[in-house]
């Protein structure tokens, strides 16, 4: 039995499709980086931590690595690392009083027309824009409208992919939701206030090369308890193993 095999093989599984093998590889690199720090080799430690971060998808490991790198004055962009979508157009509120809005088909589900105005819950509504600077991509919908109880909102963003491929749309929200990609509904969940976590919901879908339109419907109920006031979400795009896929718009080419 080659007892040294794990130490030799596992570190090379940093980008393995298996999250379990990848986690082991990241863990070993974290230990190696910490050893370099103890040996006062800051350059080696930084290089090792950066290498480990490139394959890290578990939040606890990412936080450990980000903390180490930030203490070494190395910038860490968690939005890009996880593949969060941060720029959104939104419209609403539409009526969700009595929870009727989840199944009601409001105009944005039929057509995305950013110049259009519609009759909403409290009068005329029009499309607006928002962006989040939260490092975990959290968009606070409650800040965009008032009042926000018994409301249904639509939010849309674009994901740019260099190739057609299978991906996972990973959503965290305490609210009821539906998601469409390029006009096709992928999934939905009519459930409220069961907490919010990174990668809480994982929905597999297909993207085409170029721009892909993502539409999210987010519903808030009428509960008045303090713990039922959150109206927010985070959405990221990842490969099937969880590695973040940042949106990459095509670069303009100069004409000769």
pTM for the complete prediction? 0.90
Say what the pLDDT of residue 186 is: 97
DSSP class of residue 84 equals: B
Say what the pLDDT of residue 240 is: 93
Mean predicted confidence (pLDDT) in 129-137:
96
State yes or no: pLDDT of 134 exceeds 70.
yes
Q: Which three-class secondary structure state does DSSP give residue 83?
A: coil
Copy the structure tokens of residue 144: 């965009």
Confidence category of residue 7, pLDDT binned at 50, 70, 90? low
DSSP letters, 136-148, are: T--EEGGGTSSS-
Mean predicted confidence (pLDDT) in 200-215:
97
Copy the structure tokens of residue 75: 């910038």
Q: Which three-class secondary structure state does DSSP give residue 49?
A: helix
Task: Report the range of poorest mean pLDDT among 116-120, 135-139, 142-146, 228-232.
Answer: 142-146
What would you measure as the largest C-alpha separation in the chain, in angstroms?
Answer: 73
Say what the pLDDT of residue 3 is: 61
Taking the C-alpha atoms of residue 206 and residue 233, their distance in angstroms, rounded to an integer, is 21
Confidence category of residue 12, pLDDT binned at 50, 70, 90? confident
State yes or no: pLDDT of 35 exceeds 90.
yes
Mean predicted confidence (pLDDT) in 202-229:
96
State yes or no: pLDDT of 4 exceeds 80.
no
Do 74 and 43 touch, CB atoms closer than 8 A? no
How does strand 165-172 pair with strand 128-131? unpaired
Residue with tokens 């170029």: 210
Confidence category of residue 181, pLDDT binned at 50, 70, 90? very high
Mean predicted confidence (pLDDT) in 183-190:
97
Mean predicted confidence (pLDDT) in 177-193:
97
State yes or no: pLDDT of 252 exceeds 70.
no
């Amino acid at each position: 039995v080659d007892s040294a095999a794990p130490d030799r093989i596992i570190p090379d599984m940093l980008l393995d499709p298996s999250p379990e093998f990848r986690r082991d590889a990241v863990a070993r690199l974290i230990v190696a980086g910490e050893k370099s720090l103890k040996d006062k080799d800051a350059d080696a430690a930084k290089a090792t931590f950066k290498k480990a971060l490139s394959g890290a998808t578990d939040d606890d490991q990412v936080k450990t690595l980000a903390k180490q790198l930030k203490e070494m004055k190395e910038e860490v962009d968690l939005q890009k690392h996880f593949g969060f979508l941060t720029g959104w157009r939104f419209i609403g509120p539409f009526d969700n009083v009595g929870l009727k809005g989840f199944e009601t088909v409001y105009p944005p589900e039929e057509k995305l027309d950013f110049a259009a105005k519609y009759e909403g819950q409290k009068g005329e509504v029009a499309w607006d824009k928002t962006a989040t600077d939260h490092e975990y991509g959290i968009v606070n919908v409650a800040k965009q409208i008032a009042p926000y109880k018994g409301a249904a909102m639509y939010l849309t963003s674009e994901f740019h992919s260099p190739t057609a491929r299978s991906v996972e749309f990973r959503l965290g929200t305490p609210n009821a939701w539906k998601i469409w990609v390029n006009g096709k509904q992928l999934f939905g969940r009519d459930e409220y206030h069961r907490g919010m976590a990174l990668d809480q919901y994982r929905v597999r879908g297909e993207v085409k090369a170029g721009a892909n339109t993502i539409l999210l419907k987010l519903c808030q109920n009428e509960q008045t308890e303090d713990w039922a006031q959150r109206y927010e979400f985070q959405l990221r795009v990842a490969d099937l193993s969880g590695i973040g896929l940042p949106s990459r718009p095509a670069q303009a080419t100069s004409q000769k």
